[in-house]
Amino acid sequence: QVQLVESGGGSVQAGGSLRLSCEASEYPKGVYFMAWFRQAPGKEREGVAALYGRAGSTFYADSVKDRFTISQDPPKKTLYLQMDRLKPDDTAIYYCAAAPKPKGGHWAAQSKYEYWGQGTQVTVSS
């Protein structure tokens, strides 16, 4: 059982930055995915960014590419999401997800991930 705890959310003006952290009780090894998802009010949860394995191949949603950066520090059991040039459309609850034994499919498929955090709110004002 892996527990995930997100932190770093808050309120910021458009154009600003935030860094989210996700601390895991146990960090995956070998072949795994770690990801960030978000859910805006009235919308479905969507994949934001993912990271594959210790080598850290990365994947991004088109809407955040070149603005967000996903990274990890396995010795600290922590996943990060650096969010720059934030927009009001980025307002959402952000969730960390872990797939220690990933199932097949697209990186942004929620069914791929076995463990989820409780989420952290990000609010971007114009």
Per-residue pLDDT averaged across 10-18, rounded?
A: 98
- Predicted pLDDT of residue 54: 86
How far is the C-alpha of 122 from the C-alpha of 39, rounded, in Å? 10
As beta bridge partners, residue 39 has 93
Q: 103: which DSSP letter?
A: P
Closest CA to 82 of 71, 64, 69, 95: 69
Amino acid code (one letter) for 58: T
Residues in the chain: 126
What percent of the chain lies above the pLDDT cut of 70?
100
Task: With beta carbons less than 8 A apart as the criterion, state whether 50 and 65 touch.
Answer: no
User: For residue 102, what pLDDT is reported?
Assistant: 85
Mean pLDDT, all residues of the chain = 96
* Percent of the chain residues topping a pLDDT of 90: 90
pLDDT of residue 13 exceeding 90: yes
Give per-residue pLDDT as tens, 33-78: 999 999 999 999 999 999 999 887 999 999 999 999 999 999 999 9
Average pLDDT over residues 74-98: 98
Q: Assign 93 to helix, strand or coil.
A: strand
Q: How many contiguous H segments (helices) and E segments (strands) does the chain have?
A: 0, 11
